[in-house]
Every structure is written in C-alpha cells, then in structure tokens.
Amino acid sequence: MKTRFIFFSLLIINYYAKAQEFTSYEKPLNINLYSEVLNDSVNLEITLPKEFKNQINTKYPIIYLLDKQLHNNYTYNLQTIDYLSSLQWMPKAIIVGITFSRKNRISWTVPNENGGKADDLILFISKELNDKLKIEYPVSNFNLLIGHSRTAIFSSYALSKKPDFFNGTIANSVSNFDFGDKVQQKQFDTFLNKISSSPNKYFYFFSVGEKAYGDLHESAVDSLNHYLNSKELPKNLEWKYFKHKVAHDLTPGITVSNSLSQIFKDYGRRIDLCFKLAKSSKNKVPWNDFQDLYTSISTELDLKIEPSELFFNSIASEYYNDYDRIYGDKKLNFTLEIILKAIEKYPEDFSYFSWIGEIYMTRKDYEKGLQFFNRSIELINNDKSISKSDRISYLKEIEAFKKNN
C-alpha cells in the first residue's frame, strides 16, 4: 500500500526522521498537522510495522505515545514496543508519537472545565486524527495511551472521559486526579459506573517513583491507589499500581515494559496455550479449541487476532517432533494437517511446501512428495529476496532429501 497522507486543507509537512533501525518497525514519519478543534498545530510521529505493506486484512492497534519531545524516554519506549513485538509477546501496532511544547503541555492536559484544552485534545485524537489514520492505514478499535507526569494525568482523564474510544492507559508517575482535582475525580467515578455494563475490557496501569529518590508524586499516587482499593471496581477493569525506587524521570522506562507485557499477556502466551490444547487432544487436531482461544483474545482486546506463521510453525513442530511421545503414529498426519492449512494462508512460503514434500516422501507417497518439492523449488527460484548462497543451500537440501528417499 503506497503511503500517502493527504489532509486536504490541513497544513502538512512530511519528512523521514533520522532514527535507528528497529527490528519490527520502519523509520518514523514526521507530520505537522493543524487541528481545528485545538486551533493549533500538532507535531506527530507515525511509526509503522515493517510488515505493513505486505499484510492483507490485518488491522493494527494504535498506541499513542505522548511526550515525544522527551527524547530519552520516548526512544526507549519505542524500543520496548519493538522488542515485545519482535518476540511476538504483543501485536505489532501503529505508534503515534505526540509532541507537547512548553506552552501547551499544561493547557492541553487540563480539562476545559478548568480552563484548559484537555477535552479538545481528546476530541482531536479520537476524531480528527483517528479519521485521518483510518483513511491511510488499517487501524483497529484498540487505542492505548502512554503518558508521563502531566500527560499521565491527561491519559487518565482521557480514558475516563472517552471509554468508547480508549481501551487503556499506562500512566507513568501520575497523581490522584491532578492532585485531588474534584472535576477529574468525578469524571473517573462516572467512568467506573459506565464501563460496568460494557462488554469491553479496560486497562489502567499507573506508577510512581519514591520521594526519597526524587519523585514528589509519591503521596498523590499512593492516594490514587488507596482510592481504587477502597472501591468495588468493575470486573472488566484490569489495573495495577507499580512503585519503583527511582526518580520521577525514570518511571516510564521501568513501567511501560511491565505494563505492556501484562496487558497483552494472553496474546503473548497464546502459543503455550495452544500447546496445552494440542497435548490434551491426542486423537485429533483441536481446530475448534484453537479458534475459540484466538476468538477470546480478540474479544478481550477488541482486536482481531488470527493464527499466524508462529502458530503454524510452532504447532506443526509440536506434532512433528512429539518430544513427549503423545501422538504416536498420528504425528505425521497431524503435522501435515497443520501445514496444509498454513499454505492456504501463506501460499508463497516455500518452506511449507518443502515440509509437506518431506512428509509425503517419508510416507512413501513419492508422487505427491515430488509435486510439493517441485512447487517449493519454483517458489525459491522466483523469490528475489533470497540471496544466491541461501538459494543454493535450500535447493541442495531438497535434492539431498529426494535422493535419499
């Protein structure tokens, strides 16, 4: 999909920022977008998954990473998301960095009722910006805010104000509703009452350092923790309080990785859960159970999750290797069943065709084995991304297996 960002009458300045390479993400694209509701320009940085242009029917969650101007924490959090995505513990996301200047960091994080523009910023993110992202990219309905200090306070308020849009917040070194502000506490109470009847799950993870290490928010965040512990909270709100023996500025680097790991824990352990489902079904491949698991994760995250190459490779290997000797003489049949499903989704992946060819050859079905090996050879020769040395190596492996069988 060719990247274009046409915002009609809006002022746009596009340029690729200098940035280090990520494993799972492209270099960020910087955009200066004028907001009518804020009556101001907003500096944004869009970071896309490297797989983005090659995916079909994949919708990505959006992570709004606030305080782009705080370079060290912002870059560290980008690297954290890249790390977790690359290890497939969390889904790849579209990351939107938002810059706050000295003049707007206070006004944009204070509710309109108190003389600020926080409600306008919420409207900008959930309407103006999201409408434009939907035009350009395949975005899902999962929206997560990550903020620090002032923008953590804003993130908490935004989640409580717009739960029909935001799914969660990671609020690093936050406070108790902007140090006891009654407007924001009332809004949070309304939020808790409102979401109790919602089918969606919400995430609220917040943290603080300690005063002894220089974080003056400690007592305010302790009181926020006390407030939540004193209430009967909706079952669909998952929350956690982190207290670290660090300074105020260090809380994002420690909190974000822990929070993302927990928010996406079921996504991260989905393959382990599939292993358990496979082991408990010795006589057949439990397709319905696999699908039910993925559906439950999708429902919880308001994000469509489907079996990917990780699933097909891992579960096929589980059957093929059969380290625990569970599947007996059915192991090759189960392996073949999995890989035949894999090529429906990945018809250009030569490795699946080679594996199928190997299984048929092992079962003495030489005609089918040669059919799939020949298709694998065709795909290898047509794939220009494969280096010459790798191509020679792959073809030699196939020929050696054919010769020995």
User: From its phi and psi, is residue 284 left (phi > 0), alpha (psi between -120 and 50) or beta?
Assistant: beta
101-122 CB burial, b ≥16 within 10 A, e <16: eeebbebbbbbeeeebbbbbbb
- In order of 11, 12, 328, the CA distances from 40 in angstroms are 11, 13, 67
pLDDT at 20: 57
Q: In the structure, what pLDDT confidence band is assigned to residue 392 with cuts at 50, 70 and 90?
A: very high
Q: Each residue of 8-45: pLDDT tens digit?
A: 333 333 333 444 589 999 999 999 999 999 999 999 99
Confirm if 194 and 163 have CB atoms less than 8 A apart: yes
- In order of 101, 106, 199, 219, 306, the CA distances from 300 in angstroms are 35, 34, 9, 33, 14
Q: Is the pLDDT of residue 199 over 90?
A: no
Q: Each residue of 100-114: pLDDT tens digit?
A: 999 999 999 999 999
pLDDT at 24: 92
Give the DSSP per-residue string, 262-306. HHTHHHHTHHHHHHHHHHT-SSS--HHHHHHHHHHHHHHHTS---
Domains of the chain: 14-268 (3.40.50.1820), 270-404 (1.25.40.10)
Q: Is the pLDDT of residue 73 over 60?
A: yes
H-type alpha helices, 124-250: 130-136, 150-161, 177-180, 182-195, 218-229
Percent of the chain with pLDDT over 90: 87
Q: Is the pLDDT of residue 51 over 90?
A: no
Q: Each residue of 239-248: pLDDT tens digit?
A: 999 999 999 9
Tell me the average pLDDT across 357-379. Answer: 94
This prediction has a pTM of: 0.86
CA 104 to chain centre: 29
Lowest model confidence (mean pLDDT) among 4-8, 135-139, 333-337: 4-8
Confirm if 26 and 50 have CB atoms less than 8 A apart: yes
3-state secondary structure of 312: helix
Confirm if 391 and 362 have CB atoms less than 8 A apart: no
Which residues face 62 on adjacent strands?
94, 143
Tell me the average pLDDT across 87-116. Answer: 96
Rounded to whole angstroms, the Cα distance separating 105 from 43 reads: 13
